[in-house]
Structure 1
């Protein structure tokens, strides 16, 4: 088993576990070195600290769209994906740093609701939601992430996880396959924070550290209401939970996760707000390049 387990989020299904692991290890080691922890950085890069990527992206292959018109979801899954897209628009409207971005999201939400009607089936509504997201500056600045096909893929992956029991169980198992009593930390990005949350509720031994970043865990109408178990609460074996969020990360539905999970113990700390450099505020390696992402790991590795 691994001392540090990474849990990836949405993304291309042809990106392998080894590629993701190498990218995350390099980014985190560089941050540790920059923050005055060269010995710990060397441990990560040299293999003295055992790392693993919990990989489940291949499970989404049946739902992977060929283009922006190719909705490979059941009616229920398409409705779930649509609701997620609308929720992400609401997050942009609520907390984007630019007034223009918030106004764009509000305008797209109003246009989406105006287009609702009995003639619109689930695939058409999903395409409307994807189009609204793609026209928002907070999404468009993410470059490749703004392509409608990519947005459709990302929403489809979240919907498939929530609505397909086989996908859900196998993704959770991918995390638990790497976590045991020797694991010191779990780092989970984007959809991976949802998978990790559900997996860690099944642990029977303590986990010193959970770090989530770019998380949709606070999405009001879908993710928050469909997390398992209910009501949402901190996994009981997790000893410290650090959450990082960039206000311009369009996947971040809510900045203050501690308000969602009602944790009176202080395990879930107030969200650390960061400003990721470059255009794509959601990229995992951007978050791992932030000092608050590396500092908790340095603490648990030193004490371990």
Structure 2
């Protein structure tokens, strides 16, 4: 099993574990090198792949979601939240949602309008409306469909081995990785890294397993260091800081001494990914990500 496991995000249903692993492993090594740390062997980097769970299976009567189909309140609320954030960050390119934010109707037009606006933002460069809709629907399906969520979680748990020391989750992958670690996957994992994570969005946070208690999320069992990294223009990471949501106060949260003080083992960091704010490769090549991964391998 790999020492470092990357859990990918949404939109990988037409990829595969080996196809994805090559560029991901190279990006991990580059990030560590740019951080000035000892570069791991690329073979130490693995990918927990689940994308094909979301691939349509016509021979079994399955169809993929299309933009505007299956429009539920989850998609509408999240799309409007992202739209509002994108408009606030990128006023030159994204028109604000205006009165539509207060609307209660569940209409495909509402979601389509949000996705159209998002497609013009720095967050969604090169992403089309159908791709953005899949981002919404896959996140919803993982959190609300027990069969889909169960399949995905089982895949990821199987790929986090007994000797895995660092788990990195991107986008939806950060949610899956978090729940897998909370469920006991990877007994040797001490370092958790989240990239462009939606974990702090109330629509997501309140649906987590285990369920948060008194507004505080459970701590991944054996993790002693958690680094959360986001680009300020990445609207998926709508709640940029996770430290206040996953913090000391839970009985299973550990505190790591730092310069004689007891501090939260969760550290929030920012990066600049340019005009592809949510891109996995750009997150991985950032030196702050490389340093977090290296610390997990050398500590």
For residues 197 and 222 of structure 2, the distance between their equivalents in structure 1, rounded to whole angstroms, comes to 20
For residues 9 and 237 of structure 1, the distance between their equivalents in structure 2, rounded to whole angstroms, comes to 23
CA drift at 1:132? 1.8
For residues 151 and 223 of structure 1, the distance between their equivalents in structure 2, rounded to whole angstroms, comes to 17
2:100/2:110 contact within 8 Å kept? no
CA drift at 1:200? 0.6
TM-score by length of 2: 0.83
Match of 2:224 in 1: 239
Match of 2:272 in 1: 275
TM-score by length of 1: 0.82
CA drift at 1:191? 0.3
1:8/1:54 contact within 8 Å kept? yes
CA drift at 1:297? 1.8
2:48/2:159 contact within 8 Å kept? yes
Corresponding residue SS for 1:251: helix
Change (3 A) 1:270 1:302: closer
Instruction: Indicate yes or no: 2:134 matched with 1:134.
Output: no
Between Structure 1 and Structure 2, how many residues are aligned?
276
Instruction: Indicate yes or no: 2:164 matched with 1:186.
Output: no
CA drift at 1:211? 0.4
* Structure that is richer in helix per residue: 1
1:7/1:188 contact within 8 Å kept? yes
Change (3 A) 1:138 1:269: farther
1:87/1:219 contact within 8 Å kept? no
Match of 1:292 in 2: 288
2:181/2:220 contact within 8 Å kept? yes
More off after superposition, 83-92 vs 162-171 = 83-92
1:91/1:252 contact within 8 Å kept? no
More off after superposition, 294-303 vs 150-159 = 294-303
Change (3 A) 1:148 1:138: closer
More off after superposition, 127-136 vs 268-277 = 127-136
Match of 1:29 in 2: 29
Match of 1:160 in 2: 141
Instruction: Indicate yes or no: 2:154 matched with 1:173.
Output: yes
CA drift at 1:54? 1.1
For residues 270 and 138 of structure 1, the distance between their equivalents in structure 2, rounded to whole angstroms, comes to 31
For residues 140 and 214 of structure 1, the distance between their equivalents in structure 2, rounded to whole angstroms, comes to 14
Give ranges in structure 1 of 5+ residues lacking alignment: none
Match of 1:40 in 2: 39
CA drift at 1:209? 0.6
More off after superposition, 8-17 vs 204-213 = 204-213
Within-5 A mapping of 1:1-304: 1-37=1-37, 40-41=39-40, 43-44=41-42, 47=43, 49=44, 51-62=45-56, 64-65=64-65, 67-69=66-68, 71=69, 73=70, 78-92=72-86, 96=89, 98=90, 100=92, 104=95, 107-108=96-97, 110-114=99-103, 116-117=104-105, 122=106, 125-136=107-118, 139=121, 142-145=124-127, 147-203=128-184, 205-220=187-202, 222-231=203-212, 232-263=217-248, 265=255, 266=263, 268-277=265-274, 279-303=275-299
**Runs of 4+ that moved beyond 4 A:** 98-101
Corresponding residue SS for 1:255: coil
Once superposed, what is the RMSD of the aligned Cα atoms? 2.4
Give ranges in structure 2 of 5+ residues lacking alignment: 57-62, 250-254, 256-262
Corresponding residue SS for 2:14: coil
For residues 186 and 64 of structure 1, the distance between their equivalents in structure 2, rounded to whole angstroms, comes to 29
Change (3 A) 1:5 1:12: closer
CA drift at 1:99? 5.1
Change (3 A) 1:140 1:239: closer
For residues 192 and 141 of structure 1, the distance between their equivalents in structure 2, rounded to whole angstroms, comes to 18
